[in-house]
Amino acid sequence: MSAFRFTTAGESHGPGLTAIVEGIPAGLELDREALDRDMARRQLGHGRGGRMRIETDTVEVRSGVRHGRTLGSPIALLVANRDYANWEERMNPWPVEGFEPEEVHLPRPGHADLVGAQKYGHADIRNVLERASARETAARVAAGAVARGFLTALGVEVHSHVTRIASVVAEQRDELTPADFAGIDNDPVRTLDKTASKAMVEEINRLRKANESLGGTFEVIAFGLVSGLGSHISWEDRLDGRLAQAVCSIQSIKGVSIGEAWDVATRPGSEAHDEIFWSEAGGYFRETNRAGGLEGGMTNGQPLSVRAAIKPISTLTKPLRSVDTETHQPAQALRERTDSTVVPAAAVVAEAMVCLTLARAYREKFGGDHIDDVRAAIDAYEARIDAR
Ligand code: EPS
Question: Which pLDDT score is estimated for 338?
Answer: 84
Q: Which atom of ligand 1 is nearest to the CA of 129?
A: 20
Question: Which pLDDT score is estimated for 173?
Answer: 87
CB–CB of 378/367 below 8 Å? no
Dist. CA 317 → ligand 1 center (Å): 14
Dist. CA 115 → ligand 1 center (Å): 20
> Which pairs with CB-CB distance under 8 Å and at least 24 residues apart come from 88-92?
90/13, 90/126, 91/11, 91/13, 91/14, 91/15, 91/130
Dist. CA 52 → ligand 1 center (Å): 8
The tens-digit pLDDT sequence of the chain (388 residues) is 779 999 999 999 999 999 999 999 999 999 999 999 999 999 999 999 998 999 999 999 999 999 999 999 999 999 999 999 999 999 999 999 999 999 999 999 999 999 999 999 999 999 999 999 999 999 999 999 999 999 999 999 999 999 999 999 999 988 899 999 999 999 999 999 999 999 999 999 999 999 999 999 999 999 999 999 999 999 999 999 999 999 999 999 999 999 999 999 999 999 999 999 999 998 999 999 999 999 999 999 999 999 999 999 998 988 999 999 999 999 999 887 889 999 999 999 999 999 999 999 999 999 999 999 999 999 999 999 988 7
Question: Which pLDDT score is estimated for 334?
Answer: 85
Largest CA distance in the chain: 78
Q: Going by C-beta distance under 8 Å and a sequence separation of 6 or more, which residues neighbour residue 336?
A: 315
Ligand 1 site residues (CB inside 6 A) read 12, 49, 51, 55, 83, 133-135, 138, 251, 315, 336-339
Strand ranges, E, within the chain: 5-9, 16-22, 60-61, 65-66, 69-70, 75-80, 157-165, 168-169, 216-223, 253-258, 276-279, 283-286, 294-295, 298-299, 304-310, 321-323, 330-332
Dist. CA 51 → ligand 1 center (Å): 6
| Domain at 5-386, CATH homologous superfamily | Chorismate synthase AroC (3.60.150.10)
Residue nearest to atom 21 of ligand 1 (CA): 133
Question: Which pLDDT score is estimated for 343?
Answer: 98
